[in-house]
Amino acid sequence: MQLTSVLLSSAFPAYEVSLASRPDGRVLMVLARPGAESSSKVIDAGALTNPTQAGLVIRQVQRDLRLLEGSLKWHSPDDCWISIELPTYHDRPLRQPPIWNWTGRGHGRRF
């Protein structure tokens, strides 16, 4: 756990990193910076013992911090590859349902 706390502290030098255990076995990580709001994230206790899992947590928290700061955006005007409509390759629908003409059906029948 000491190794991982050193990794977390070195990954976020501008923040004060504090770890607190929770009753469910997970760990609450709080990143505090003087004069700014603190950010918190609940992480698995296994991430504290495994350096590779700690690296994943560090990348996730860095991404979340960039999103909060506004330096990373999900969508921008340059995202031309994101479209709402599904592509169609011809002007008609793939399956055209039959149109029932209730006035024309049974014209010749008498009850």
Average pLDDT of the residues in 75-80: 58
Q: Which CATH code is given to the segment(s) 2-69?
A: 3.30.160
Hey, where are the domains in the chain? 2-69
Encoded tokens for 12? 């976020």
Question: How confident is residue 37, by pLDDT bands cut at 50, 70 and 90?
Answer: confident
Q: What is the pTM of this model?
A: 0.58
